[in-house]
Amino acid sequence: MDAMTDRISSRLWPAGLTRVPYWVYTEQDVLAAEQKRIFEGPVWNYLCLEIDLPNNGDYRTTFVGSMPVVVTRAEDGEYCGFENRCAHRGALICLEDGGSVQDFQCVYHSWRYDLRGNLRSVAFSRGVNGKGGMPPDFDMSCHGPRKLRVTTFCGMVFGTLSPDAPEFETWLGPEIVSRVRRVLGNRRLEIIGRFTQALPNNWKLYFENVRDTYHASLLHLFFATFRITRLSSGGGVLVSETGEHHASATRAPPQGADSSYQGMRSDKESFRLADPSLLGMHDEFHDDIQLQILSIFPGFILQQVHNALAVRQIVPRGVDTTDLNWTYLGFVDDTPELRAHRLKQNNLVGPAGYVSMEDGAVGGFVQRGIAAAADELSVVEMGGAGAETQETRATEASVRGFWKAYRMHMGL
DSSP class per residue in 244-266: SEEEEEEEPPPSS---TTTTSTT
pLDDT above 80: residue 4: no
Higher pLDDT, 394 or 84: 84
* pLDDT of residue 19 exceeding 60: yes
Model pTM?
0.94
Alpha helices in 195-282 (DSSP H): 203-211, 216-219, 221-225
Residue 398 has pLDDT above 70, yes or no: yes
Q: Which domains does the chain have, with CATH numbers?
A: 54-151 (2.102.10.10), 185-410 (3.90.380.10)
The type of residue at 215 is H
5-19, 35-49, 292-306, 393-407: segment of lowest average pLDDT:
5-19
Strands 235-239 and 112-113: unpaired
Instruction: Give alpha helix (H) positions in 125-220.
Output: 168-172, 174-184, 203-211, 216-219
Contact 69, 147 (CB under 8 A): no
| Position 231 pLDDT exceeds 90 | no
pLDDT digits (tens, 9 = 90+) for 24-42: 999 999 999 999 999 999 9
Q: Is the per-residue pLDDT at 1 higher than 60?
A: no
CA atoms of 41 and 70, how far apart (whole Å) = 18
Quote the pLDDT of residue 49.
Answer: 98
Q: Letter for the amino acid at 62?
A: T
Check whether 179 has a pLDDT greater than 80: yes
